[in-house]
A and B are shown apart, each in its own frame.
Chain A
């Protein structure tokens, strides 16, 4: 989740922090900078792909560093921040909202870390006024964490805590429908010094920035992968249970990209293969894999040079990606109970050569892609399977009220239906069945709308067709048209919904064919 660090640079942040060690002069701002550095260090190790922006605020706000993965830019900026005047949290949030909506739209889950000094500069009435003015909940899903750089027993903190709590609460009940993000929290340091704040920040990181590891399995082939961004549990409309992605993703099988189409994904995640140590590159699928995090695999215990360089150890993910791309296929993956996703090779339109493996998490449930049928019934065909169905599976449910065909509120729809009847009427006797089918449909709709005028009119039109028949027309045509017209206007059955018009049983069929 992209993160905004919202840093208070008001004058109160420049207050020096009393410390026993006279060699170091810290202000609240320098302590806050240490916390930010801790945060960036953590990301470097665990979540290098996270985008981070630095927004500073006092009575105004400034996007000091826009969203970036170059954390050094932020580090470099920290010592050179300009002091502002007074803390104005509501203005800051207006700015953050604007920044996020412009850059990420209103669907990407975000995180905000508010770093301030725990003094809001007002009493209770002022606090309520601030709460009123807060532009929260935002229209995008967000989790807000607060890190007050303040001693735990500070008087002003007691004043500020309700405000911070309100901010966190407001953020979590965003009206966005994706809101599966868990809540943020207040991380108060135990002591007001650099180690205390670093501990608080580390706690924040560990709780809110967990990376997601799992193993991707395809039969006996397996690779340890990281999903980025970390997937959040999903919920299904109507079902209260939430779905969590299991830590083993099983490939069920493969399907051509064309058959798969583009089912709508709840979220998408990069699948990043992780280095794995192997004693024997020859048969890695026999060996137990010990997942390692970056850097730790280079312990150099083996003398083969390949092992020390993870990029030279064959990895199943890379193979899978290559094959998916070449065959333009996708893999269907089981994510958990009753939950599926698809894996495909994906590349940004702008950077066609940099392709990667992307996991699309589908809606939980078997019907996430109806044209594939029930997802739990996807299986391999073997010799015993007789004429298997093919994709796409037709939906059993016709759209829009079962197509009862009486959407005649707009004249063109009515015209089209009447013209259809007349077209069939002109192509008798071939279209006799069609004519009666359409007539019955029209009749049914007209009766339910109480539109008897229409039936009279269509009866008249059929008689006119009958009259304009040429001499060469088979006699059956005239008989059928006259029969249909009369049946439409028969007072006994005209408004009886249960009555169906039947073609006239005629012996002329045979004789007309013998001509």
Chain B
């Protein structure tokens, strides 16, 4: 249940020996000599302590970048006493905490003591339950408690290493005895987190660090089992200068990770922004990400870094768009390098990039992985072969595919109006949906199914304003102006289609009266659909006035009422106008929220359907009956 890498403990040797220099000079005056008389800086060497700290911290960085939870690392600094820098608590599992602790420990001081204290403390720490382990109900306490101890020290010879391992094993055995003895009474109140667990397996990695030229009598020792499989001991001898490299390699098998080298990343030069050079960046991620490549790889190749080439994304094509599989977290192997930082920033900005397997064959590319950011973290995903949705059916052959006069431009405008933005606070989604709901209340899909939306500037102020949540007095007035000008056009016996763009004019057929009836009908549907607020209802009354006027014979009296109605104050109470019987509006907030301000539809008169544009006759059967009788 809990793998060995659930718990890792670094034991760092802080004894006086680690204060000595690594004898690996770093020269600061690398490039330009600045003329005569310029005294070069003496090269400096890190101490063994500095080397072991930076290497182990780097190991941690990789672990924590890739596994924000579930993989725990602790630090124990060992000199005369064991300084425990952090606990298993999640709040202490971060680099800042460790670095602060290291500051307090300070550089190596004189004094006695050795790594034994730290190693014993480490084994005791392994017995402490991690937060996840202690959150298990006591009935499920039968999990395997395993862990790894990485001890960075320096021993005289193989014998002292062996005695170190034996001390560790003895401590472990004693520790387990205590823990299992304490087990029976604690089963009753197992909730206490202080209870120590039996350690089922401990992987002890002893890294023997020496300065550059020092002789050592310690030899590498492969993983050997001790104490009947209770402990596995591994000894690695290493120069201080290569310690970081060593731990960088060790972290891979410990957490089943692999390295991908992204090659050929084009980057602008700092000095010379017009040109770009290609860089390589190494990234670390779960070894599973390479599973797809393994088919074409030998075992040796799979453990090596896999080289994949950067495939510059073009537009929306490629990128994470092609990935629909699992994702693994990614962290750069060399976090401080400029190319790494560039790549990380590129991805964090929401761009993604496809990686391809470099092939020698020209013109043949095979995308294999994709890198992208998500949640402020970097991820790698593998691209599969085919997708089940490839070769889709043509949209033009499906439903609605052969309609050619969709109002695409208008819908584009609607999309622009309904663009969403990052806001603060809850309910933003709901507001966006309400707005869309308003904007689409009356929205014919095709050009041929509407007249009013094709009338352009004559109609535009009204169609634009009416979708608003509420209207100001001026806006109602503008809309009234539109209605009145339409009325004027109609009384001048103009065709509404005269306003249409030339290419549409031919299409709208029908007699003039027919067209006007459609215009008024559509307008009514549009305004009625928005009659939620009182200004809207006032507008609707005006519209109904205009319409009723339109359908009655032109008489002075009706004209007068139209004028009165149009000058009606928008603030006048509902029903003040004489068209109040016609105005249908939602009664309560629920109706308004449901956005269903629609007149209940009655099935259309069957006779009209068959009659088409002609006048429908009533009771045709009676006529037939009479004829048959005759």
A125 to B96 Cα, complex, angstroms: 59
CB distance from B393 to the nearest CB of A (A): 7
Q: Do B375 and A400 touch across chains, with their CB atoms under 8 A apart?
A: no
Q: Do A102 and B449 touch across chains, with their CB atoms under 8 A apart?
A: no
Q: Which of B55-63, B356-364, B509-517 contacts A (4 or more CB under 8 A)?
A: B55-63
Interface string of B418-442 (1 = CB under 8 A from A): 1111111111110111011111111
| Contacting residues of chain B (38-58) with chain A, CB-CB under 8 angstroms | 38-39, 41-42, 44-47, 49-50, 53-55, 57-58
Residues of B within 8 A of A207 (CB): none
Q: Taking the complex as formed, is A390 at the interface, i.e. its CB lies under 8 A from any CB of chain B?
A: yes
Q: Taking the complex as formed, is B495 at the interface, i.e. its CB lies under 8 A from any CB of chain A?
A: no
Count chain B CB atoms within 10 A of each CB in A262, A319, A374, A449 and give the residue with the most. A262
Nearest opposing residue in chain A for B378, CB measure: A399
CB distance from A375 to the nearest CB of B (A): 8
Nearest opposing residue in chain B for A422, CB measure: B28
Which of these, B324, B407, B420, contacts A380 with CB under 8 Å?
B420
Residues of A within 8 A of B105 (CB): 450
Which of these, B320, B420, B428, B525, contacts A254 with CB under 8 Å?
B420
A408 to B45 Cα, complex, angstroms: 12
A349 to B390 Cα, complex, angstroms: 11
Q: Do B61 and A378 touch across chains, with their CB atoms under 8 A apart?
A: no
Q: Which of B166-174, B191-199, B346-354, B542-550 contacts A (4 or more CB under 8 A)?
A: B346-354
Q: Quick one: given A252-B433, A418-B28, are A218 and B440 in contact (CB under 8 Å)?
A: yes
Interface string of A92-128 (1 = CB under 8 A from B): 0000000001111111100000000000000000000
Q: Taking the complex as formed, is A379 at the interface, i.e. its CB lies under 8 A from any CB of chain B?
A: yes
Residues of A within 8 A of B504 (CB): none
Q: Do A275 and B399 touch across chains, with their CB atoms under 8 A apart?
A: yes
A390 to B446 Cα, complex, angstroms: 33
Q: Taking the complex as formed, is B498 at the interface, i.e. its CB lies under 8 A from any CB of chain A?
A: no
Q: Taking the complex as formed, is B415 at the interface, i.e. its CB lies under 8 A from any CB of chain A?
A: yes
A264 to B377 Cα, complex, angstroms: 12
Q: Do A319 and B406 touch across chains, with their CB atoms under 8 A apart?
A: yes
Q: Do A411 and B419 touch across chains, with their CB atoms under 8 A apart?
A: no
Given contacts A251-B436, A276-B399, A409-B248, 12 further A-B contacts (CB under 8 A): A220-B440, A257-B316, A265-B323, A313-B400, A319-B407, A329-B412, A346-B321, A370-B374, A381-B423, A401-B94, A464-B38, A495-B107
CB distance from A475 to the nearest CB of B (A): 22
CB distance from A201 to the nearest CB of B (A): 21
Interface, chain B (partner A; CB < 8 A):
26, 28, 30, 34, 38-39, 41-42, 44-47, 49-50, 53-55, 57-58, 61, 64-65, 94-96, 99-100, 102-108, 244-245, 248, 288, 291-292, 295, 316-317, 319-321, 323-327, 331-332, 334-338, 344, 348-352, 370, 372-379, 381-403, 406-409, 411-412, 414-416, 418-429, 431-433, 435-446, 449-450, 525, 595, 598, 601, 604, 609-610
A259 to B42 Cα, complex, angstroms: 51
Which of these, B332, B344, B350, contacts A261 with CB under 8 Å?
B350
- Could you write out 14 A-B pairs with CB less than 8 Å apart? A178-B325, A219-B437, A250-B433, A264-B327, A311-B402, A317-B399, A318-B399, A371-B373, A388-B423, A415-B30, A449-B50, A457-B42, A461-B41, A468-B34
CB distance from A460 to the nearest CB of B (A): 6
Give the interface size bracket for A toward B.
35 or more
Nearest opposing residue in chain A for B286, CB measure: A177
Q: Do B38 and A468 touch across chains, with their CB atoms under 8 A apart?
A: yes
Q: Do A401 and B65 touch across chains, with their CB atoms under 8 A apart?
A: yes
Which of these, B108, B389, B423, B525, contacts A450 with CB under 8 Å?
B108
| Contacting residues of chain A (198-257) with chain B, CB-CB under 8 angstroms | 218-221, 228-229, 250-257
CB distance from A234 to the nearest CB of B (A): 12
Count chain A CB atoms within 10 A of each CB in B53, B248, B604 and give the residue with the most. B53
Residues of A within 8 A of B443 (CB): 219-221, 285
| Contacting residues of chain A (295-320) with chain B, CB-CB under 8 angstroms | 302-303, 309-320
Residues of B within 8 A of A356 (CB): 392-395
| Contacting residues of chain A (354-394) with chain B, CB-CB under 8 angstroms | 354-358, 360, 363, 367-381, 385, 388-393
